[in-house]
Amino acid sequence: MNDKSLDSKENKQYETAIFAGGCFWCMVEPFDTQPGIISVVSGYTGGDVPNPTYEQVCTGTTGHTEAVKITFDPKIISYADLVKIYWQVTDPTDAMGQFQDRGSQYQPVIYYNSPEQKEIAIKSKEDLEKSGKFDEPIVVRIEPAKPFYPAEEYHQDFYKKDPLRYQLEEMGGREQYKKKYWNN
């Protein structure tokens, strides 16, 4: 788990963002490599089962999505910047999964932690809709944050632990999508 945290006095300056955008393995690296990111934790949120396991979430019956919880320094990177990255690494027109990952646990959702985050996310979504970049409607839900449960340790920092498998996941459609819509 990438945890570059400092002592508790300094941690008060940090904020968190929670994004669901398909397999959490593929959602860590795009944020983790940005300046101002303190940690990115893979986990589960949005459901009704406390402390779910990966096996439970995979059934699609717990109500959870695979998500990442990002701790960041807003003096270095803004929440708006994180939302912009989010749009570029998810397919905002696919309500029932992302790329090769299908099912309710892979739905794209922005979970906000404050009224300011809600406002930024809604405005960003409206701007994306008005841009005409996509022929299909933007279906990403924007919801209040619910309890976030860190995933099992073997899921943390997956792109570093198993780079080859991570590359195969990225090649499952996400990488092509980024090139088509964002020239990444």
Residues that are catalytic: 23
Cα separation values, 88 from 24, 29, 37, Å = 15, 13, 17
User: What is the C-alpha to C-alpha distance for residues 178 and 57, in angstroms, rounded to an integer?
Assistant: 27
Residue among 27, 58, 21, 54 at smallest CA distance from 41 = 27
CB 39 within 8 A of CB 70: yes
Q: Would you state the structure tokens that stand for residue 71, as one six-digit string?
A: 């701790």
Cα separation values, 141 from 32, 111, 164, Å = 23, 8, 31
**Burial of 173: CB neighbours in 10 Å, binned 0-12, 13-18, 19+:** middle
